[in-house]
Amino acid sequence: MTSTAAASAGSSVLDLAPVVPVVVVEDVADAVPLARALVAGGLPAIEVTLRTPAALDAIRAIAAEVPEAVVGAGTVISAENVADSVAAGARFLVSPGWTDALLDAMKKSGVPFLPGVSTTSEVVALIERGVHEMKFFPAEAAGGAAYLKALAGPLPQARFCPTGGVSPSNAPGYLALKNVGCVGGSWMLPADAIAAKDWGRVESLAREASGLRQGPVSPGALSR
């Protein structure tokens, strides 16, 4: 997210909650109750990945029916994805990686964004472009918490949301780092609970995740 975008938003996506649920919606009918369960559990920032045909409709439904949620789009890999996501109501964008063309589109979108990085050179290139908040992906495969800790010395201006292989067991290690604002994960969305529409279980797991670090910002602080 650029400094300009952060200023207009009033708060950073990285500071809304310690965990951003990474949601894959197969059935759009699940979107609203799932989002309500996550919000009730203390996780207002919800990344809906553009991996299924239902994704954009899910974002649209959550944006319209769950005002307490800060719904965003993940797996954004093209300018078309950017435009479609913002039109559907996404309030932030997350990409697994970035190119100049994708970065330009995200900058022009008017909403906060987290471009994905996995190397030091990518981080430096984004800082050069005025971007200081990023997704670190795939976190565990790319070096984990030790890698991010090593980056904090030479690149203290960069902040991260590590995603990919993050779990309840290793999330606290990431969240203890001064250059990590939050983590992304899907462990609070087990497939069997989604299939059974057990939203109470989702809420319970979300509440446990939200307690990994206290002090989330009110979702109302992030606005368009």
Active site residues: 47, 135
Which of these, 51, 104, 103, lies nearest to 73 by C-alpha position? 51
User: Which amino acid appears at position 96 of this protein?
Assistant: P
